[in-house]
């Protein structure tokens, strides 16, 4: 099955959280495009809506929202995701991925679109061990 590393950003607090999605959680991303929203309950966040903002594959090749295909291609670019020109008017042919999420991706970037009833910080709070009973 497919495994993804999801970087979930919370604009309310400015924090970003790393999630390892596998199984049904990862399956909810397959076939979606950058800009689509998914239900957060697939990742265990009830009441949340999550918007996909970007992705990259195992080589670090970024995905572009405006390319509506699944796969890698070399395209002539003047700027944007995947290419930042140094000289004004510079164009270069660069390898990028389409905006459709496939099993070839490793990392998916996402942002919280709708908050749930429970804060994200509570989901990621470290487990506190119970204090041992005082000896008498």
Report percent pLDDT > 90 for the chain: 66
Residue 130 has pLDDT above 90, yes or no: no
Residue 96 pLDDT > 60, yes or no? yes
State pLDDT tens for residues 16-65. 999 999 888 899 999 999 999 999 998 989 999 999 999 999 999 999 99
CA distance 82 to 25: 27
83 in a structural domain: no
Which token pair is 120? 């994200």
- Is residue 8 in some structural domain? yes
Q: Check residue 123 and give its pLDDT.
A: 86
Domain housing 31: 3-67+98-123
Look at residue 121 in the predicted model and tell me its pLDDT: 84
Please say whether the beta carbons of 104 and 26 come within 8 A: no
The reply to whether 44 falls in a domain is yes
Q: Is residue 132 part of a domain?
A: no
The domain total for the chain is: 1
Q: Residue 33 domain-assigned? A: yes
Q: What is the pTM of this model?
A: 0.85
């Amino acid at each position: 099955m497919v495994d993804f590393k999801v970087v979930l950003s919370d604009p309310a607090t400015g924090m970003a959280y790393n999630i390892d999605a596998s199984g049904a959680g990862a399956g909810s991303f397959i076939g979606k495009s950058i800009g689509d929203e998914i239900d957060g309950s697939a990742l265990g966040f009830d009441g949340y809506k999550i918007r996909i903002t970007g992705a990259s594959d195992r080589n670090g090749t970024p995905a572009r929202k405006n390319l509506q295909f699944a796969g890698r291609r070399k395209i002539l670019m003047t700027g944007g995701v995947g290419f930042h020109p140094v000289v004004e008017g510079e164009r270069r042919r660069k390898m990028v991925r389409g905006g459709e999420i496939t099993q070839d991706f490793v990392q998916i970037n996402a942002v919280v679109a709708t908050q749930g009833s429970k804060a994200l910080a509570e989901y990621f709070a470290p487990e506190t061990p119970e204090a041992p009973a005082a000896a008498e």
